[in-house]
Each structure stands twice: as C-alpha cells, then as structure tokens.
Amino acid sequence: EAQVTQNPRYLITVTGKKLTVTCSQNMNHEYMSWYRQDPGLGLRQIYYSMNVEVTDKGDVPEGYKVSRKEKRNFPLILESPSPNQTSLYFCASSSGGTQYFGPGTRLLVL
C-alpha cells in the first residue's frame, strides 16, 4: 500500500529538549515536504526537498532543520523546541501533481 508514515503520532516534550519527527514514504517519490497546521493560520510549509541532498526553506523554516540522506526518509529536527512550535505537523511526498500526506504528528511543547 502506497503510504507516508510519521512517528511519533503524538509527542509531549519540554522547552529545549531536542527531538526528531521521522517521515518515510514507500512510493519512491523525489519530492517531500513538511508542513505545520495551526488554527486560523492554515497549513504552512516548513521545508521541502526535491531529491536526496536537495532541500530548501518554505514559509516558516525558523527553528527547524531537515535532512534528506535517503530518498524514502525526510526527518524533521527541532534542535531546541519552544512553546510556539506546538502544532500539528504533516509530512508529504509527491511525484508530478499528486501529493500524499502522512497522518500527522501532534506536538506539545511545555
């Protein structure tokens, strides 16, 4: 089954404690992306990657890092999380015009 998986699905952490949210796709897609979704602000792109070792900033990259060492994986790294990064995060992958989203990771930073 074609899918995008994210882990963990839910995470509660404290300010400053580094964390990584993993994202993996099994469709051999070149393009992957991370979004955050907040009430009243909608979906905003954090980072995207057009292929292995090729990443670029989206609209809200501050406080986040990404890496793309393998085609299937695109982890999102929060080096020093802060409460304003509390949000619902989605990973997505696509080839051509169809974009597939993961199930989401709900993050709470205390």
Partner 1 sequence: EDQVTQSPEALRLQEGESSSLNCSYTVSGLRGLFWYRQDPGKGPEFLFTLYSAGEEKEKERLKATLTKKESFLHITAPKPEDSATYLCAVPIGWGYGGSQGNLIFGKGTKLSVKP
For partner 1, the binding residues (CB under 8 A) are 4, 30-31, 33, 35, 40-45, 48, 50, 56, 58-59, 90, 92, 94-104
CB of 9 to partner 1, least distance (A): 10
- The arrangement of strands across the sheet holding 4-7 comes to 4-7, 19-25, 76-78, 65-66
* Shorter beta-carbon distance to partner 1: residue 41 or 110: 41
- Tokens matching residue 50: 């057009």
* Shorter beta-carbon distance to partner 1: residue 1 or 97: 97
* Shorter beta-carbon distance to partner 1: residue 15 or 95: 95
Under 8 Å CB-to-CB from 44, ≥6 apart: which residues? 35, 36, 37, 38, 58, 59, 60
